[in-house]
Structure 1
Amino acid sequence: MLQEFWVLYKRELKKTFRNIGVIIIMLVQPIMWIAFFGSSLTNVPKEFLTTFFHTNNYIAFLLPGELSVSMLFIGLFSSMSMIQDKRFGYLKKVMVTRAPKWSIFLAKVGGATTRGLIQVPVMLLAGIAFGVVLPADPVGFAEWIVGLILLGVGFSSLYLIVTMRSADWQLPNVIANLINLPLMFSSTALFPLSFYPTWMKYLSDVNPITYSAELGRDVILNGDPIAMYLFYLFVFAVAMLFIGFLVAKKYLTPE
């Protein structure tokens, strides 16, 4: 059964890497985020940044959050890929083979997560170019990357859970508009928790993007990542995968 998953997963990678336009956009987009949004607080007094962001370089604060947001948005690609396969008849051909439904679901999750990880080195290099000092902590970086993978797995699974039964091109975009912005702005990806009203703080406390952003921030700013953040992301990813397996087994259809 793992062989079927591996074949389907490689196809997802080929679909990404053979599309030069998509690769270029994936590489340019994070740099634009860092350059434009990250530079928006350049002239803010350093005392303000140090007090509320715990660094005098806002981009150092933003970088882990923006990487986390990127893993949120890659969930959209997992569901779009599924719908594309339905519309063009590819999924119908796969489902008459011995490939189990879970392998189809997992290949989509793996492909989307891998696609999101492509942006990680680009954003790290962009951060360095804008003055972010990355600590030489391989263990901390490994924990951070694992956290981003878990976040990508969780959100890719979530998107597929809500779109697996549909072949409507518009549904993933509707879902994205419904959940992406609230999740992004109710997390600490862009701003510290102290800026938010009480009700948004409650949302932030259960938002997985917050835990991914804070995990990366601990690596960059403190050099001491909190393992509990990684555990929360692990629970989120496993829960979404488990629900996704159940939904795929019962509801995944070729049309």
Structure 2
Amino acid sequence: MGATLVLFKREVLKWVNRRAVLAMSIVTPIFWIALFGKSFNILNILNSMGANVDPRMAAAIREAVARAVERLFGTTDYFTYVATGMLAVFALFQSMSGAIGVVFDRRIGYLTRLLVAPIPRLSIFMSKVLGTIFRITVLSGILLAVAYGMGAEFKPGLGILDLATTWAVIALLSLGLSSIFTGIAFNVDNHEVLFSIVNLANLPLMFTSSALFPREQMPSWLQSLAAVNPITHAADLARYFLIGKQVEDPVASLAYLAGAAALLTIAGYALARRGLREA
């Protein structure tokens, strides 16, 4: 534990001292929710069907559309839906970003110095993973605060327990994703190769989840992929606790997410051990 904490502190200080990286980590998700969430206003698009008709009919159309949108998204504000779903996507992107640091540590020789020191291999691996989870925790809090300031509509009576449970959900997702990507990074000695793997994985993982659109509206084959995607379960649970959107079985989703995190962590450490032996 001592070695893990020392290396974890190094990861945190490295992130905080690189102010350009810190700033971009904050600005990127804000751009996502601000530009995509605000510009793609589904309610206004559908309400345009009531243009140039009798005002009473237009009012009836708007009311029917609002009810349909609320059933579909759990809120009449698509921005709220995207902002809460982006917590899970943000964990995905930051997990990939954290793994890239492993390759640069190898290239500058820092990883070699760790390997010749009397440090458990598990401490090297876990310090990277915990550093990534710390970054995601801090930046997710900032993202939620910004989303609230931009008009996200959280459920009435939102409390500390809801926020803590949401943090636990995002932390589980971050643990699994950062572990597997970090494990892969320990087996790669070229950042271009890792960038290729990251670019191959990020969009499919994001678009086969419910982060941007409800699973119920996807084609059947895509619904099957979304059902096993841990990002789907994390996004749905985040909305369940933050905006009150109903989930078929929140306990089962939480159990699935915990199981996926455990399996990905074990697989990631197995990959890391292999890479560290060959380093």
Larger radius of gyration, structure 1 or 2?
2
Alignment of 1:57-206 (within 5 A): 57-134=77-154, 135-206=157-228
Q: TM-score, normalised by structure 2?
A: 0.85
Deviation at 1:110, TM superposition (A): 0.8
Structure 1 contact 186–204 (Cα < 8 Å) conserved: yes
Q: Which residue of 1 aligns with 2:37?
A: 38
Distance 1:16 1:86 in 2: 17
| Residue 182 (structure 1) shift | 0.5
Other-structure match for 2:2: 3
Structure 1, 22-31 or 41-50: larger mean CA deviation? 41-50
Matched length = 254
Higher relative contact order (CA 8 A, sep 6+): 1
> What is the distance in 1 between the residues matched to 2:71 and 2:266?
41
Compute the displacement of 1:33 (Å).
1.2
AA paired with 1:153?
L
The question of whether the paired residues in 2 share the 8 Å contact of 1:91 and 1:254 is answered with no
Deviation sequence 1:28-50 (CA, Å, 0-9, x none): 22221111011123323352522
Q: Distance in 1 between matches of 2:70 and 2:221?
A: 25
Q: Which amino acid aligns with 1:211?
A: H
* Alignment pair present for 1:14 and 2:41: no
Gaps of 5+ in 1: none
Structure 1 Cα separation of the partners of residues 169 and 40 of structure 2: 27
Q: Secondary structure of the residue that 2:243 maps to in structure 1? A: helix
Q: For structure 2, list consecutive stretches of 5 or more residues without a partner in the other structure.
A: 48-64
Counterpart AA for 2:258: F
RMSD, aligned α-carbons:
1.8
State the distance in 1 between where 2:35 and 2:222 align. Answer: 25
